[in-house]
A and B are shown apart, each in its own frame.
Chain A
Amino acid sequence: MTPELKGFLLVASLKILVAFSLVNVGVIMVIWAERRVSAFLQDRLGPNRVGPLGLLQSLADGVKNFTKEETYPAEADPVVFVLAPVLSFIPAMLAAAVIPFGSPLPGFDMTLPIIGQIVYSGEIPMMIADLPIGFLFILAITSLGVYGIVMAGWSSNNKYAFLGSLRGSAQMVSYEIAMGMGLVALMILVGNVTLTEAIARQQESTWFIFPLFIGFFLFAVSSLAETNRLPFDLPETESELVTGFHTEYSSMKFSMFFMAEYANMITASAMMATLFFGGWDIPFTTWDEGPASYLRFFATFGVFLAKTWMFMLTFIWIRWTLPRFRFDQLMQLGWKFMIPLALGYIMLIATTVWVLDTRGVEFGIVYSLILFAVNLPLTYVLFSILDRGKVLGGSQHKRVKVSA
């Protein structure tokens, strides 16, 4: 083995261990946070007995689930039934691999006693795999999660699970289109699909929340739908389908679905933070664009965590604020509103970018603010349409002629 390969393997395994435990600890923390925050919002206490502030509650629940009895419903398809949580868990845990969680670290060249010389030339990008396909990888991997839901619902031989999985698959594929199209506007500005490049472009100008405000709206709403969170948690509506597609699951198989759901939420939050809020970029400073150092890594890492947690808390807050959509409203929002909006938005951004480029405006803060100014009137139109219920009226709101 060459010293370079040794260095790469060492760095890769360290990064994997750190990032994987980060996601898992994040899942435990966000489950705890969800229970505590929802308790706070409903004026109760929530879990506060296991460990300080109840922090170890999710861990205790995990241990408990290991020892719980596994039940298999009669006439279930055993192979598919066991495979479904695995196919839900694996993509959820893999998706975060391309998200940079801090600024790069400096490379090294050193000699260790047993291993020998190890070299890592250049800066070490702080993500598990610096793939050239960037966030297309996340889009591809997270959409595999729908297989887990479909298989769980089909194999359970339970009517609730079956209906939940049907709804879940229809919902996830519908909002995937709006999500992908919303990101095309971002690709126009970035000119690349890697998240590193997206962060660099945001450091050059402003955070993309300003020039791509509607794009962020599209992405945020579709992520709520993709992660099956309220107000779009139709696959597991407690009040009508018990727990939806995982009604028949018990023991660790249920835990895997649960962990996958929260891992998806972490990925979605990290994506929003990275694509629209500058990722690990520290606002109002240029210090974090300097040469790689350990101090800089830890500072940017903290900023990235703070931004991601802000979105996760927003997810929880939304859950206890908005009522659930009806299924026809959900599909109408996706197909009749989000998709035409995304198509029109792509053309609007493309035209504006073309005009700005031919006028010779340099890419920077002014460029971003002009795009933001283009976004504002559209935002007004958008919310006035949404507010009047013209798109989301649904069947109940249609005028029925009453004969005398």
Chain B
Amino acid sequence: MKTEYIALLMLMGLVVITALGMLVGSHFLSARRPTKVKSTPYESGIPVLGGTRERFSVKFYLVAMLFIVFDIETVFMIPWGVSFRQLGLFGLIEMLVFVLILLVGFIYVWKRGALEWD
């Protein structure tokens, strides 16, 4: 089984070489006539207003934090799911308790308005 990872590494090598080849190839093949106007950020034709890297909605941070919590729950569920049919009733009750605890947190997050987008 370990030798299978060699095949994966070989594929990775091929993909990385292709990606770099495309970058380098287009770099040398393409015409280059930079002008000042050409390098301004595209804003549908009007002159650029203000900067880009400003403050943005805190909701996006919140989604990222909630994602980490819930994705870890998913990671816990994967080994449980794989071995569920060997675990039987024990596994079922354990996961039921786990999901109920998760649900309490989920309802809290929902009621506090973390999932609202308006």
Residue positions of A touching B, CB distance < 8 A: 5, 8-9, 12-13, 15-16, 19-20, 65-75, 82, 85-86, 89-90, 93-94, 97, 128-132, 136, 154, 156-160, 162, 166, 169-170, 173-174, 176-177, 180-181, 184-188, 190-193, 242, 247-248, 251-253, 255-256, 327-328, 331-332, 335-336, 339-340, 343, 346-347, 350-351, 353-354, 357-358, 394-395
Contacts and interface: CB of A to CB of B under 8 A. Distances in A.
30 contacts: A8-B6, A12-B10, A15-B7, A20-B15, A70-B27, A71-B34, A73-B40, A86-B20, A97-B7, A128-B7, A158-B41, A170-B59, A173-B71, A176-B67, A180-B78, A181-B74, A187-B84, A193-B78, A251-B30, A252-B25, A252-B26, A328-B116, A343-B103, A347-B95, A350-B95, A351-B92, A354-B92, A394-B118, A395-B117, A395-B118
A8 B70 CA distance: 40
Contacts of A187: 78, 81-82, 84
B52 A136 contact: no
Interface string B74-92: 1101101111110011011
A347 B99 CA distance: 8
Contacts of B10: 12-13, 16
Contacts of A256: 19, 22-23
Contacts of A128: 7-8, 11
B30 A159 contact: no
A89 B103 CA distance: 37
A358 B78 CA distance: 22
A66 B115 contact: no
Given A173-B67, A184-B78, A93 B85 contact: no
Given A184-B80, A192-B82, 6 more contacts: A68-B26, A70-B30, A128-B8, A130-B4, A173-B63, A351-B92
B29 interface: yes
Interface residues of B, number: 70
A82 B84 CA distance: 45
Q: Is the interface of A mostly helix, strand, loop or mixed?
A: helix
A75 B36 CA distance: 12
Given A15-B7, A132-B1, A336-B115, A67 B29 contact: yes
Nearest to A143: B71
Nearest to B63: A170
Interface of B: 1, 3-8, 10-12, 14-16, 18-20, 22-23, 25-27, 29-34, 38-44, 52-53, 56, 59-60, 63-64, 66-67, 70-71, 74-75, 77-78, 80-85, 88-89, 91-92, 95-96, 99, 102-103, 106, 110, 115-118
State the 8 A-B residue pairs at the shortest beta-carbon distance, nearest first.
Answer: A252-B26, A328-B117, A187-B81, A395-B118, A180-B74, A12-B7, A173-B67, A129-B8
A248 B106 contact: no
B39 A71 contact: yes
A188 B25 contact: no
Nearest to B6: A12
Given A66-B25, A252-B22, A353 B63 contact: no
Contacts of B75: 180
A389 B88 CA distance: 38
B14 to A, nearest CB: 6
Most chain A CB inside 10 Å of its own CB: which residue of B23, B99, B118: B23
Contacts of A162: 52-53, 56
Given A158-B52, A174-B63, A192-B82, A242 B42 contact: yes
B104 to A, nearest CB: 12
Nearest to B57: A166
Contacts of A20: 11, 14-15
Contacts of B15: 20, 89-90, 93-94
